[in-house]
Structures are given as C-alpha cells and as structure tokens.
Amino acid sequence: MTHEVTWSPAVTDAEVEPHLRAAFAREFGGAPDGVWAAPGRVNLIGEHTDYNGGWCLPFALAHRTFCAVRARPDGRLRVASRQAPDQAWEGEIEQVAPGAPGGWVAYVAGVVAILAEGPAAGPMGADILVDGRVPLGAGLSSSAALSCSSAVALVDLVPGLAGVDRAALAEVCVRAENDYAGAATGGMDQTVSLRAEDGHALLIDCSDFSLTAVPWTLPEHEVLVIDTRAHHSLADGQYAARRDACERACRSLGVDSLRELHGADVDEVLGRLGGDAEAQRRVRHVLTENVRVLDLVAALEAQDAEEAGRLMVASHVSLRDDYEVSCRELDVAVDAALGAGAAGARMTGGGFGGSALALVRRDQVDGVARAVHEAFLAEGLEAPHLLRATPSAPAHRLP
Ligand code: ADP
Ligand code: MG
C-alpha cells in the first residue's frame, strides 16, 4: 500500500545474531568465531569537501552491517551475503585482484587481500557471511559498513593484525573500495564507520583525517533521513567531473588543494577564475561549505537548532545551484520537509539520488514524514523510505 509511510528501523543485535549464526551453519557448516557489526552513516553537512581536503560532519547510524566470521589458516576465502544469495564466492586470497572477484564480493575480498599483504599477517583465510541492515545504495554507506565489518573481524581474529589501528584500517577499506571495487570514495564513510563515537557527530578534517567528536546537543530534535530510492545513472561520471573541475581550479589558482584557500576572500578567489564559470560555481560551493561545517559545529555547541537548520538549508542550496548534484527527488524531499516545519533539510551524500536529511523537532517527526511521503506521491514519485538517525557507536564485535 502506498498510503502508509514506510519506515526502515534499525535492528538490535538480538534480532539479527541468532539468524545469522544459523545461516552461517547452513552456508559453511559449524559456528563462526564471532559476529561483528559496522554502521552506515549520514553526513550532517560538508558535502564534496572530502576530496578537497576540507571538513565534513557525519555520524554513525544505528543501522549496521553484520558479519559472522571464522578464521581459517589455509589461504582460502569464502564469502556470502544474505542480500546477494546467488552471488557467493570462494577462492584463494592470493588470486584476489582489482575487479576479480567483482561485484559486491570485491568490497570484502579487497579488504582481505590488502590485509594479507602485510608480512605480519601470516597465513590467513576466512569464511564470511554478511547480513547488511543499512539500506543498500541509499547514500547511507552500506558499502563502507560492508568493508569495515569484515575489516574489524579480521583484525580481531588474526593475531598478526593486532597492531593495525582504526586509522590504518580505514585506509585499507578506502583502498578496497577504490582499487578492488572500483568505487570512488574520499574516506569519510570508512572513517566514521570505524572511528565514530556513540552520541556524537564526528568532525573530520580530510586534509589529515584528524577527528573531533562533537556531542549531539539537540535533545528535542531528531535527524530524519529520507531515502528517495532514486539512483540516477549519471552519478559516477558526474562525480568524476566534479573532482576534475576542482583539480582544474587548483591548477589555475596555483594550490594543491582547495583547502589552502580556507579563510581567503571568496569573491577574490572567484575573480581569479574569471572566464571559467563552471569552476567558479564549484569552488564557491567548496569554500562556503567548509565554513558552514565549522559553523554547524558551533551551532551544536550553542545548542542552536535554528541556526543548525539554516546552515543545512544553505548547504542544500549551494549543492543544488552551485555544485549541481541535486535532483528532483532530493529537492522534493527537502522542500516538503521544510514546508512541514523541519528546522532544516538538505541532500546528503554524493547526490543524484540517495538520501536527504531533515532536522525535526521530535514531536513533529511523524508529521514531517507523512508530508514528505505525500509530496512524493503527489509528484508521481515512488514512495520514499524514512528512517530515524541516531548518532551511534562505531564498528564493534558483538558481546
Ligand atoms: P551506499 O554505500 O550508499 O549504500 P554504494 O553504491 O556505495 O551505496 O554501495 C552499495 C553496494 O555495496 C551494493 O551495490 C553492493 O555491491 C554492496 N553492498 C553493500 N552492502 C551489501 C550487502 N549486505 N550484501 C551485498 N552487497 C552489499
Ligand atoms: Mg558507498
């Protein structure tokens, strides 16, 4: 029925673990050594800033990807996912290479292959069964939840990997996504999945990946995520085009990274790009977005929901008009949420589909969710999925 709002609730350990252990026994025989979980994420603000050496402010979701893992000493890898029942894979870790295996398996096999490169790892292998409870492909980073859940499991199980800290592990997961799965990613997703703090957003300085945990100080407000379920196929090419435009601007401006221009007079910088209107719009987004991230941190410290909401809206407008990565579904979601009383709303993630978020007073969440749902139907769009986003814990082993 399209008349009901569709919620995607986060699941508890108890709702997943027994089923996952039983499925592991069916898939591989016997019991796993343990079960691990890694969260998806939502980015409060700071979009397309990561590959420009800027700031972003994501938090880990209560929605997680679980994996049951058993170490084996023989160099073999077996992987299966409850979300991809016909695409299990089995082979030698030594033979894993970029794109082989491909598809979803690359995210896991890439992590295993990279970790196995280190001389300290010794002979390793694993049986891995995944159960992903982060909506797939919704811009909430099910991909990082997938790679990070396997990564933390291996570090816990393989004695030779005990010294790999979370920062190094995030780099491993980024490499797995970039090189093995062929998915462009700037590092925000893996960092927050592995290094978030429960109850906090994570300010990431993407110039050096230094982190500041920022307490969530708006107890009367909630972050409502609107998964538009739209995935426009131009996303990959457009992501590369945005990166190219930023690199072109850096060359014109004589800097290695747009980050070097933080604090500079924006109009003066844009003037130096005279004639390249596209680069001007892209750079204006990046420079103003960095300021908005730091302003949102200050708004959280001041417990100022109104200001936080205003910054989110400004971010959306900049992404829509200057960076040109929004789309109709995201704009409908943002406009409907604001029209129904949200303090702020914006697209989140790379754009061209995926999810939007809204900052909403707790007593208005149901009303805003319904208004968004109805706006989609009125526009002839497929009903969105809604989820409540709560700043949650990083990847961990289930007790
Ligand atoms: P997002 O990370 O925002 O969810 P991506 O396109 O980056 O979107 O990643 C989605 C891809 O990650 C899927 O197409 C699939 O290849 C892989 N994936 C994520 N979770 C799972 C899972 N539980 N089982 C199988 N594949 C998964
Ligand atoms: Mg992803």
- pLDDT category at 62 given cuts 50, 70, 90 is very high
Q: Does the pLDDT at position 206 exceed 90? A: yes
Q: Is the CB of 183 under 6 A from ligand 1?
A: yes
In this predicted structure, the answer to whether residue 296 has a pLDDT above a threshold of 90 is yes
Write the CB contacts of 22 (distance below 8 Å, at least 6 apart in sequence).
none
Taking all residues of the chain, what is their mean pLDDT, rounded to a whole number? 96
- Position 154 scores a pLDDT of 97
Query: Considering 50, 127, 131, 189, which one is annotated as catalytic?
Result: 189
- In this prediction, residue 64 carries a pLDDT of 98
Weakest mean pLDDT among 44-53, 117-126, 281-290, 383-392: 117-126
Ligand 1, atom 23: nearest CA belongs to which residue?
132
Residue percentage of the chain with pLDDT more than 70: 98
- Rounded to the nearest whole angstrom, what is the distance from the C-alpha of residue 266 to the centroid of ligand 1? 37
* Max CA separation in the chain (angstroms): 66
**Residue 121 pLDDT:** 67
Nearest to 279 by CA among 264, 269, 265: 269
**Banded model confidence at residue 232, pLDDT cuts 50, 70, 90:** confident
Tell me the ligand closest to 40's alpha carbon. Answer: 1
Give yes or no for a contact between 36 and 67, defined as CB atoms under 8 angstroms apart.
yes
Domains and CATH numbers, the chain: 6-212 (3.30.230.10), 216-389 (3.30.70.890)
Measure the CA–CA gap between 299 and 45, rounded to whole angstroms.
12
Q: Give the DSSP H/E element, type plus range, for residue 278.
A: helix 277-301
What's the pLDDT score for residue 2? 58
**CA dist list (Å): 225 to 109, 157, 174, 191, 234:** 30, 35, 25, 20, 23
Confidence of residue 118 (pLDDT cuts 50, 70, 90): confident
Q: Which residue has the higher pLDDT, 303 or 239?
A: 303
* pLDDT for position 312: 98
Decide if pLDDT at 120 tops 70: no
**Is 189 among the catalytic positions?**
yes
